[in-house]
Structure 1
Amino acid sequence: MEGSRVAKVTKTNVMRILTQHKISYDIHQYLGSDVHNSVDVATKMGIAPQQMFKTLVTQAKSGAHYVFMVPVEAELDLKKAAQAVGEKSIAMIKEKELLPLTGYVHGGCSPIGMKKQFQTVLDASALNFETITFSAGKRGFSVQVAPQDLEQAIPLIITEVSH
């Protein structure tokens, strides 16, 4: 029956890694062009903004890189973030550094499956939810996972790092 096929979702590296670690996940997709920020994306996907997390990549004064996951409606508290990883200070990396460092583009950056695995800090607010949603490593695609399951796939610290 022609025309009755369901569009197949292309698996991203993030999805492959989650499957490899036997972590259950759901896929969310939004490919519209009428979104201007992460909060818009969450709203279009029907996900509460406090339950959708963005992935932020930083560099410490020591030169080490760290990844932080905070709700899309929140901001990373750089002072709390530095304390969480035992550094004096940290700063966001420049957008042009993101792809060569992580293998991901702005708007499609996931804490899972980066070129090199960096210490990741998940904001403690994630524990208020059964599941959280974050980028599946490709713009327009997100995965929904139980926050405690993330520890099976990446080195994870859970503490308060947003405001």
Structure 2
Amino acid sequence: MAKKELKTNAVRILERNKIDYELINYECDEFIDGIHTAEATGAPIEQSFKTLVMKGKSNAYYVFVIPIADEVDLKAAARSVKEKSVEMIHVKDLTSITGYVRGGCSPLGMKKSFPTVIDSSAEKFDEIYISGGRIGTSIKLNPQDLAKVVRATFYDIIR
């Protein structure tokens, strides 16, 4: 019997919105960082993005999608969502807030819809790579399509 393809919430959302994407599965049993994920999938590092979840001074949560090799500029990230400041949530809180685990957190399909900002560097690519919603799965898609589905804005948020 053929092995059934496991669909994540991220994939279901893309299909429901009729967004073109490519699913890339790779062997991985535990968290690895974005650089190693890109190496495992053959994705160009500069087109590979990670998902960060932060909490603002107002106690609201925000999602930031940035290149895997870069660090977020906290001041720019706060400005992008009109907060005085933002800080990373604790890893132990990630699953309860988003429904995802570290290394499998996608900007698509979180438990709730949070304001999302994609670093503007994504706009120079026709395709970017993001987490597919579980460890061992990446999604290649157009950054404008991603922004449309998650109602994201583009902003310079990296150092």
The answer for the alignment partner of 2:127 in structure 1 is 131
Corresponding pairs, count: 159
The normalised TM-score by structure 1 is: 0.92
Residues 42-57 of structure 1 mapped to structure 2, 5 A cutoff: 42-57=38-53
Greater shift in the superposed pair: 27-36 or 111-120: 27-36
- Over aligned residue pairs, what C-alpha RMSD do you find? 1.6
The answer for the alignment partner of 1:161 in structure 2 is 157
Deviant stretches of 4+, over 3 Å: 5-8, 32-36
Report SS of the residue matched to 1:101.
Answer: helix
The answer for the alignment partner of 2:66 in structure 1 is 70
Report SS of the residue matched to 2:104.
Answer: coil
Unaligned runs of 5+ in 1: none
Residues 2-151 of structure 1 mapped to structure 2, 5 A cutoff: 7-32=3-28, 36-151=32-147
Could you say which structure has the larger radius of gyration? 1
Counterpart-to-counterpart distance in 2, 1:122 and 1:151: 7
Matching residue's letter, 1:78: L
The normalised TM-score by structure 2 is: 0.94
Counterpart-to-counterpart distance in 2, 1:36 and 1:83: 30
Cα deviation for residue 8 of structure 1 reads: 4.0
Counterpart-to-counterpart distance in 1, 2:100 and 2:71: 20
Matching residue's letter, 1:27: L
Counterpart-to-counterpart distance in 1, 2:29 and 2:10: 23
Unaligned runs of 5+ in 2: none
- Sequence identity of aligned pairs in percent? 43
Cα deviation for residue 37 of structure 1 reads: 1.9
